[in-house]
């Protein structure tokens, strides 16, 4: 059973491996990730956020669980191109509950990825959709949105980050972390 991992869990800093086969376990993990994304009111979720060490993300750009056609499972996604235009906008992360800061990201992006059926797809998008892609793909490289914060945002987030670390240590001591941590740790 997959569980959402919070910062500073080590799985969030791992560089994920490309998936080389699409079997039933991958499909099951994708379905469970979609459920978790909706339960935590997210727009996207990356495999390392649930302790998986491979390159898979799930997205629903409008966040509506009733809109199944808007759900996207992306395997081995790659950023092909980003726009030169950059914008600063409010961003959060399911692994940092309650923390939001303004983050600079390219306004547009072109990505390539495989579907669960193994078909190569390409998508070009801008604004919030581009931000979601870039945020989730960063997770696959072990990069977190706190790494993108400017000095002022980082200082404003200091107490939040200290609290996440304290909560993680308490959970670790109490044995409340998932028992089957990924092999990458």
Question: Does residue 41 carry a catalytic annotation?
Answer: no
What value does the mean pLDDT take over residues 6-15?
95
Q: What pLDDT is recorded for position 179?
A: 55
For the whole prediction, is pTM greater than 0.85?
A: yes
Q: pLDDT digits over 30-39, tens only?
A: 999 999 999 9
Exactly one of 24, 71, 136, 169 is catalytic; which is it? 136
Residue 178: which pLDDT band, with cuts at 50, 70 and 90?
A: low
Q: Where are the domains of the chain?
A: 10-173
CB neighbourhood size of 15 (10 A): 12
Q: How far apart are CA 171 and CA 134, in angstroms?
A: 30
pLDDT at residue 136 tops 50 = yes
Q: How far apart are CA 166 and CA 137, in angstroms?
A: 27
pLDDT at residue 183 tops 80 = no
Q: What pLDDT is recorded for position 184?
A: 38
Does the bond joining 8 to the residue before it have cis omega, within 30 degrees of 0? yes
Please, are residues 105 and 148 in contact by the beta-carbon 8 Å criterion?
yes
Please, are residues 26 and 116 in contact by the beta-carbon 8 Å criterion?
yes
Q: pLDDT digits over 74-132, tens only?
A: 999 999 999 999 999 999 999 999 999 999 999 999 999 999 999 999 999 999 999 99
Q: Which two tokens stand for residue 93?
A: 């992360």
Please, are residues 156 and 62 in contact by the beta-carbon 8 Å criterion?
no
Return the CATH superfamily for domain 10-173.
Peptide deformylase (3.90.45.10)
């Amino acid at each position: 059973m997959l569980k959402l991992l919070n910062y500073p869990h080590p799985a969030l800093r791992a560089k994920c491996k490309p998936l080389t086969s699409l079997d039933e376990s991958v499909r099951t993990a994708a379905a469970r990730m979609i459920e978790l994304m909706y339960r935590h009111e997210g727009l996207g979720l990356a495999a390392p956020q649930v302790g998986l060490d491979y390159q898979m993300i799930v997205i629903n750009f409008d966040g509506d669980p009733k809109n199944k056609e808007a759900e996207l499972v992306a395997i081995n996604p790659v950023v092909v191109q980003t726009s030169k235009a950059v914008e600063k906008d409010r961003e959060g992360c399911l692994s940092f509950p309650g923390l939001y800061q303004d983050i600079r990201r390219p306004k547009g992006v072109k990505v390539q990825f495989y579907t669960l059926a193994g078909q190569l797809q390409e998508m070009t998008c801008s604004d919030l959709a581009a931000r979601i892609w870039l945020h989730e793909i960063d997770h696959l490289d072990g990069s977190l949105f706190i790494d993108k914060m400017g000095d002022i945002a980082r200082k404003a987030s200091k107490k939040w980050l200290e609290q996440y670390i304290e909560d993680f240590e308490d959970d670790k001591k109490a044995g409340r972390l998932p028992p089957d941590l990924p092999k990458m740790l």
